[in-house]
Chain A
Amino acid sequence: MTRPSLRAVAAAATRFIGLCLILAALLPCWEALRALDRRDLVSALFAACVAWIVVQAGVELLRPGSAE
């Protein structure tokens, strides 16, 4: 049985962080919908932008070729 190389472990860890970031985007999404519920459109827009950027950061870590 071969031991995984440090590079492969780093790639797996990077992708795991990417998945966690996509899941973490749920929090600003919830904030955006709560602000929309209060009719606070500016706050909702900012929270939605934060959610989108966090998802993009997660996707960036999940792209093929990262940390490989």
Chain B
Amino acid sequence: MSVLEVRNVGKRFGSLVALRDVSLTVARGELRAIIGPNGAGKTTFFNLISGLFRPSAGTIAFDGRDVTELPAHKRVALGMARTFQITEIFPELTVFENVRIGAEIASGYRLRPWISRAEKTEVDRRVHETLKLAGIDGKAHRLVGELAHGDQRAAEIAMALALRPHLLLLDEPTAGMGDQETYEITQLIRRLHRDSNFTIVLIEHDMRVVFHLADRISVLDQGSLLAEGTPQEIAANEAVQAAYLGKAA
């Protein structure tokens, strides 16, 4: 069964057409990469899926349910979590506190003026479990704002994981990172996909990362879907080479 089903989605900002008639289906457990040149509409597409904007046309279904008109926070409640190209975290809180907020929300405590000792212990356990999964348990009590960029990104992914999502949307997880950090984040995403079986959609510029991780790749160009297929198929696709890989080389 498909986790995400996007049908004929379009988005215009005034006279600018950012996306035109894009359709895409992501199966459960799949890792899908979305690539394309700058300005192809990748981030706009993510913003439509996650509910930051409404599409001008088309529908978005998540776990079989039409979410086209749902606001972002309700999509999160249904199990959709995302990260941003520029890391969005709570810089003045510790890593633990950053992740705890998501863990409490996932446990349904969002409006609670108190929690019992047992509930608190359970939340703490879950936060540490999530931090371990993201590989930053050792930095739990550091302020996120003081961490290196790669660790901040790992913390942001941990915040998303704390929500126990069915779908993880990662917008350029390795943006602005050096080789070592890129390698570590790539390994983290790989673990989440292979070992923990998360369904992941990611936007990525680094072709090594994309071809290393993705089950399937969708290529956007000038707001339209240019091609879709396995990494091998995409690498062999002439239209893609002309629009994207050719330009990069």
The answer to whether A and B interact is no
